Structure 1
Amino acid sequence: MRLDINLASRPYEDARQFWMRWGTAVGALGLLTLILMTLVITGFVNARRDRQAISEKRALIAQRDQLRTQAQQFLNRPENRTTRDDSQFLNQLIERKAFSWTKVLESLERVMPPRVHVVSISPELNEDNQLALKMVVAGDSRDRAIELARRMEESRRFAQTAILRAAHADSQTGDTEQVEIVATYVPELLGDNLRTTAPAPGNTPAKPTRKGKTSAVKGLQH
């Protein structure tokens, strides 16, 4: 029988195995630290770039608002009020000419939920010369009217959709809920309008409504 006797003052240790274990751990820790430092530096650079872009956008918005204020002050002068009123009147005529009841009703039909119909609808120009639609819809469920507002907001033809009020209505036709909705109508491009809204031969185009009158469409029912 062979006996291995260690006469050293300290126990035997395999230094190579020790350094292999701890060297691998230290190397992995260093690599992880390097990756984290890279991510931190990249995030800092991107955040700085984003802050610079936001500052530039804010400067452009402030410059635009300043120019708009100066232009508004210039148009509000007594000697320029006539020109301002004429330009606003012409803009209203242009916007009303671009308004198409057929296109509006087709767009509403695409987003109208079942058992909801339009009671009344009227267009008007807001302060930004955009076509704002104010409508009253009725149905047997308020949730369906809310669904209509959500679909309108997701549509390309409507924007800034909001519910002004909702009320319970007593009706023998089953329309127990009435909801007033306002939205900004986004018309199609002029080229698309020219291709799709050209009157067929023999058809008489509808006469535009007179200024100051409010049109109403009833019975858009699904």
Structure 2
Amino acid sequence: MKISLNLASRPFTDLTDVYKRLRIAMGVLALAAIALGVLLHFVLQHDQRAYLRAHSIDESLGSLAAERQGYETLMQQPANARVLDETDALNELFDQKAFSWTLVMKDLETVLPDPVQVTEIEPARTKDGQVILHLRVVGPREENIRLVENMEHSNRFLRPRIVGESPESNNGSGARLQTVSANSVEDLDLLTDYNLMQTVSDAPAAGPAKASPAKPLVGGAK
């Protein structure tokens, strides 16, 4: 009996290269898994250390808060509260004594135009130690503006700002309002930060207009 085979119906396939590539891919995946496992281990350790550090900081903050609460309770006692009030009063007195009126007057002479007169000076000290001057001046509108410009170019008077202005009137409340012009005499309220750290010998920077070097100041000071 004669049997014929058709080899074309089941062609021979060499799978050696395929298996080799699969083994290489599996090895790469295994190495990647090991690397990811090591990385995850270090990340978890880092997170654990961060958690312990945060927990330690929370405990320290809680201890400080409890200590602060204890001090506040202690200071609220009548005897200690009286001492605290006296300390605040003394600190305020020291601040007032440290303020130099002579220095302020000398600095104002360098920025004050001739026609402008200072009628009131009221210093105030903020909680952070900054000194703010409340000035009330009288003079022509144009010269008042020049005063503000001179302050802006000064090393002593910082951030000058106008908080109020009104025309000067000596005829009472029934006086007829006058037209505002450059020569109109006005009352001007100014607020400016005063730089105590600047040395007396430092002259202010040159401004757009020169002020009188020896202008007498008139009016009162609080």
Q: Above 0.5 in TM-score?
A: no
**Higher RCO (Cα < 8 Å, 6 or more apart):** 2
**TM-score when normalising by structure 1:** 0.45
Larger radius of gyration: 2
